[in-house]
Amino acid sequence: MLKEVSLGVGLALLIFLAVSGQDITPIIFLILAAGALTYIARSRGLNTRIFNTAPLTHRPEICFDDIGGQSSAINELKEALDFIRNQEKIIKLGIRPLKGILLTGPPGTGKTLLAKAAAGYTDSIFIACSGSEFIEMYAGVGAQRVRQLFQTARDTGQKLKKDSALIFIDEIDILGGKRGQNTSHHEYDQTLNQLLVEMDGLKVNDKVRVLVMAATNRVDMLDPALLRPGRFDRVVKVDLPDKQGRLEILKLHCRNKPLAKDINLEEIARETFSFSGAHLESLANEGAILAMREGCLKIEHRHLHEAIDKVMMGEKLDRRPSKQELERIAVHEVGHALVSERNRPGSVSTLTITPRGQALGYMRQIPEDDAYLHTRDYLESQIRVLLAGSLAEEVVLGNRSTGAANDFEQALKTAAQIIRSGMSELGVVDPDILPPDLRYRVVTGIIREQEKIVKEFLTRMYGVIIQVVYTLLAEEKINGEQFRMMMKKVS
């Protein structure tokens, strides 16, 4: 209220002086200069509220037992953190303490959770921030904030009578990107330089020993000076969980949820290949939401099965394709399913023509056991599945549609992968120096060969396609077991 009254009085005074014939230009200039100085002072962070008000906890409410699917990363972290816990031993053996641990891996794999658990494991002060908090348009602000961050960690440790503090910097690639990339000004470089200086100044006999942990999914963007020994001494890979890891994560996220007896978490874990921990948490949550919508007291297997589709594809859409489009979509998806079953019996999990996200319909496969190496036969089988939808349209309806554009794009990428891996007729080659016409000839040769195989197969399965399409149009969705039973009856 006082502020508004002051502004009103000041404005009235300026108007009175102007009407009286006084020159108010110097007064307006002084007001503008004072406002600009105030803005710069606030922007430069001359007050110390940035990190002093950051959430500080000396024992985060999480431990390594609460994190599933990352046993190797946890073991590597514990080994590094034992240097903090066993301070006397490392002094006797003359071991230099670790100064930094970098967590790398895809988004949603639990890097922040691991940092919080590390603070609890070492009974350390925990200070979390993001790399973007250090970047400003004014020179010197970022460096000042880095100094303030380390000083806050030491002061808080002494205040709470702790002998160690853990600083966690999320998305450090924003702060620690390669120097020289931003030519407009050197604010980024100054901020990174200050971080390097602060990490070099960490000593084993400090009153409060500071450990820096950081996370990124773009380790290739980091400046090499950050990654050398003596700064970030350990790089811990936090990767997507395997099937056993996904099962552990599902059990953790479902432990506070009422589950029906028919739920098979092992089957759900098998069908969620490439899901991160965040995806699995969302899956368990969406399953509970679906159960609530139906008024169920417990989460049933079908709820989690439906939640997989929702996490992967998105919510069901209200739009309804025309009858002719639905028929074409059904033919397309049945083509995918038939070739998938031919390649790997029992692989089809769900077949639906219900629009979700960007897809008008889809066929979901049951993933194979986690595999990291693929043969040419495997890659060609994937190409056949991708081509099958469009070729089924051609066999049954006489022409193709634009609905296969994404399938073709993936098929071409897979064919290019065969060339890059040295499994094509060209042998081991460098794709970057390969003549475009030769590359085109080899890629199209791979595609056409698989098209011929798929078209011959689908022509023989014409009756099966018609029967499954008829059922799919009536029910909109069938599971893999229903699909396989129909294949046996018709064939």
Q: Catalogue the active-site residues.
A: 333
Inter-residue contact 275 to 304 (CB < 8 Å) = no
DSSP 8-class letter at 66: G
What values do phi and psi take at 24, rounded to 5? -100, 10
Cα 369 from chain centre:
22
Closest CA to 68 of 314, 194, 242, 222: 242
What values do phi and psi take at 44, rounded to 5? -75, -5
Residue type, 375: T
The DSSP bridge partners found for residue 299 are: 259
Helix (H, G, I), strand (E, B) or coil at 317: coil
E strand or H helix at 212, and its extent?
strand 209-216
- Joined together, the tokens standing for residue 433 give 């120096």
Which ranges of 370-461 would DSSP assign to H, the alpha helix? 376-397, 405-420, 436-460
Closest CA to 130 of 145, 118, 144, 141: 145
State the CB neighbour count (10 A cutoff) for residue 269. 23
Inter-residue contact 371 to 365 (CB < 8 Å) = no
**What is the spatial distance between Cα 294 and Cα 291, in angstroms, rounded to a whole number?**
5
Inter-residue contact 312 to 286 (CB < 8 Å) = no
The DSSP bridge partners found for residue 348 are: 365
- Joined together, the tokens standing for residue 76 give 């590597």
- 104 burial class (0-12, 13-18, 19+ CB within 10 angstroms)? buried
User: CA separation (Å) from 359 to 104, 295, 399, 403?
Assistant: 32, 28, 20, 9
